[in-house]
A = this chain, B = another copy of it.
Amino acid sequence: MLARCFRRVLVRFSTVRSRRCHRGLCSAAPAEGSEPVRTLLQLCVDRHYIFPGQTNAELCRGGFGCVYGPLGVELRRNLLEQWWYSVTGSRARVFGINTLSSSPERAGVGPRIIESKHLQRLWDEGDQSREQLLQELQRCWSVRTNLLQGALEQFVPSLQLVSRKLPFGLAETGSCFRPPDGSGCSAEVTQTSLVWFCSPRTSSQWLDHWARQRLKWWRKFALMPSEFSSSEVPQEELEGAESRVVKISYNFPWGLESLETLSCRGDTELLHTHKGVHSKLQFRDGRKSVPHVVSVSGNVDRGLMAFLSNSLQQLKREDGRKKLQQRRVLKLHPTLAPIKVALDISKGATMELRQVCEGLLQEFLEAKISTWPGFLETIPSSVEQLSAKYDEMGVLFMVVIGENTLESGLLQVRSRDTTIRETVHISEIRSFLSRYVSAASSC
C-alpha cells in the first residue's frame, strides 16, 4: 500500500517524458535509458551515496529527497555550501534568512500537520459537525511547499537592512513538501531559493543576469558542461503571476529535467502577502513604486543526481589477455567530491599497519581533509581492486600503506584523474595532500 502511495506521487510530480517500463529499479524510466540508469543507481547504492531499497532509489531518481548514505550527505553538504557561497558571497545585497518549514500563520489550503490521535479524539467527542472539524484542521500548522512565501513575508523587516534601497535579495535553503496528490500523499525536496526584489523596469534584465549566473555555476562543476542548459518557457505555458520564466535543465539518461526555475513574478504576490498595503512596500526611487520580484528556485536533490550522472565516466579497455575491462570513474569536481582521500592497506593488514593508518587518519582529519577509513574493512583487496572501488566512489587520492612502509616510511599515492602513482614519504604525505587537494579544489 505504501509503495502504491509513493508511486502515485512519483507519477504525478516527476517530469519524466516517457514512461515505459525498465527492468529492476525504476518503474517509470524509459527503456532506452535503462542500462545507464540502472548502472548509475546501483553505483550510488554500492558506493554509499544513497541507502539501498527500491523506494529510496525511486525517490532519488525522481528528484525527491531520499535517504542518503555518508557520501551522499557530504556531496549534498558541498553542493549546498557552494550554492550558498555563490549567492550570498557574490553580492553585498543578498542576505541569508531562515524561515519556518511549518507555520501557524499561513491560512488557506495546503498540506497541514495533524496528529491522527487528535483527529480521533475530536471525532469521539461526537457532536462535531464536518465544518467544525475542518475548521479545527485549519488551525493546525501548515507545511511549506516552496521557500518563496517565507521570503515575501520577510520583505518588510528586511527593508531596513538596505535603507529601503533596491535591489536586494533574500537567500534560503531548506526542506519543502510537495503538495500531496489525490491520495493525500506527500514528498519532500530540499530547495534553494533566491528572492530578488528590484525596480519594475529592471526585473527582466535581472532575470537574464541571474539565469546567466546560475547556468555558469552549474557548468562550473560539470564534467560535461553542455548537458546543462537553459531555456525560456513559452508565454502560453506561464502560470499565475509569472511574466517570464527561464528553466535550467539537465539532460538525464531518462530525459531533460528542470533543476532550477527563474521567474519574473511582478508585484502581485508581494502585495497579496502584505494585504495590499502599498505604503509599507515602497522603496526610495522617488516614484513610490512597489518592487517586482524575481525568484530563483532550485532542487538540490535533483541537482545532486545531475552531478552524479554527469560525472560518471565508463572507460572500456582491453587488458593483457585481451579481456574487455570496464572501468567506472565518478569524476566529480574536486570541490564537490565528498571524499578527498582514502586510506587503505594493500595486503597483509597487521596490527602495526592499522596503527599507522589510525595515526595518519587523525593527521588528515586535523587538516580538515575529508578521509575515508578504508583500512577498517577486513576483506583483503589488491591495489587494483582498491583503485576500482575508490574511482567509483569519486575519491580524489588513494593512499596505500604496505608492509615495507614500516621499514622505509614510504607509501603510495594514486590520483583518480591522472591515475599516476607516486611514492611519498610518510612525513610529507599530509602537506603533499593538503597542497594537491586545495589546488584541485580551487581550479
Determine whether A223 belongs to the interface, using a CB cutoff of 8 Å to chain B.
no
- Chain B residues with Cβ below 8 Å from A55 are 104-105
Cβ-defined partner of A97 (8 Å) among B73, B112, B150, B358:
B73
- Chain B residues with Cβ below 8 Å from A95 are 69-70
Q: Nearest chain B CB to A405's CB is how many angstroms away?
A: 18
- Chain B residues with Cβ below 8 Å from A35 are none
Whether B185 and A100, one on each chain, are in contact in the complex, defined by CB atoms closer than 8 angstroms, is: no
Whether A376 and B163, one on each chain, are in contact in the complex, defined by CB atoms closer than 8 angstroms, is: yes
- Chain B residues with Cβ below 8 Å from A183 are 118, 139
- Using a CB-CB cutoff of 8 Å, which residues 39-78 of chain A contact chain B? 48, 51-52, 55, 65-70, 72-74, 76-77
Determine whether A177 belongs to the interface, using a CB cutoff of 8 Å to chain B.
yes
Whether B89 and A150, one on each chain, are in contact in the complex, defined by CB atoms closer than 8 angstroms, is: no
Whether A96 and B120, one on each chain, are in contact in the complex, defined by CB atoms closer than 8 angstroms, is: no
**Copy number of this protein in the oligomer?**
2
- Chain B residues with Cβ below 8 Å from A371 are 92
Q: Nearest chain B CB to A208's CB is how many angstroms away?
A: 22
- Complex-state Cα separation, A188 to B142, whole angstroms: 12
Determine whether A203 belongs to the interface, using a CB cutoff of 8 Å to chain B.
no
Whether B109 and A112, one on each chain, are in contact in the complex, defined by CB atoms closer than 8 angstroms, is: no
Asked whether A365 and B5 contact (CB < 8 A) given A99-B67, A113-B112, A184-B114, the answer is no
- Chain B residues with Cβ below 8 Å from A259 are none
Whether B116 and A137, one on each chain, are in contact in the complex, defined by CB atoms closer than 8 angstroms, is: yes
Whether B112 and A162, one on each chain, are in contact in the complex, defined by CB atoms closer than 8 angstroms, is: no
Asked whether A376 and B93 contact (CB < 8 A) given A138-B116, A157-B51, the answer is yes
Q: Nearest chain B CB to A45's CB is how many angstroms away?
A: 9
Whether B115 and A109, one on each chain, are in contact in the complex, defined by CB atoms closer than 8 angstroms, is: yes
Produce 1/0 per residue, A79-108, CB < 8 A to B. Answer: 000001100011011011111111011000
- Chain B residues with Cβ below 8 Å from A249 are none
Whether B111 and A115, one on each chain, are in contact in the complex, defined by CB atoms closer than 8 angstroms, is: yes
- Using a CB-CB cutoff of 8 Å, which residues 353-377 of chain A contact chain B? 358, 361, 365, 368, 371, 373, 376-377
Q: Nearest chain B CB to A107's CB is how many angstroms away?
A: 8
- Complex-state Cα separation, A114 to B143, whole angstroms: 10
- Complex-state Cα separation, A90 to B365, whole angstroms: 7
Produce 1/0 per residue, A181-193, CB < 8 A to B. Answer: 0111111100000
Q: Nearest chain B CB to A55's CB is how many angstroms away?
A: 7
Whether A115 and B180, one on each chain, are in contact in the complex, defined by CB atoms closer than 8 angstroms, is: yes
- Complex-state Cα separation, A93 to B376, whole angstroms: 9
- Chain B residues with Cβ below 8 Å from A85 are 368
- Complex-state Cα separation, A72 to B96, whole angstroms: 9
- Using a CB-CB cutoff of 8 Å, which residues 334-352 of chain A contact chain B? none
Cβ-defined partner of A175 (8 Å) among B1, B105, B150, B175:
B175
- Chain B residues with Cβ below 8 Å from A368 are 85, 89
Chain B: CB-nearest residue to A121:
B182
Whether B186 and A113, one on each chain, are in contact in the complex, defined by CB atoms closer than 8 angstroms, is: yes
Whether A5 and B115, one on each chain, are in contact in the complex, defined by CB atoms closer than 8 angstroms, is: no
- Complex-state Cα separation, A95 to B71, whole angstroms: 9
- Chain B residues with Cβ below 8 Å from A422 are none
Q: Nearest chain B CB to A231's CB is how many angstroms away?
A: 31
Nearest 8 pairs of A and B residues by beta carbon: A92-B373, A68-B98, A70-B95, A73-B96, A118-B184, A163-B378, A2-B104, A113-B186
Interface CB pairs A-B, < 8 A, 5: A6-B104, A77-B96, A93-B373, A101-B188, A140-B185
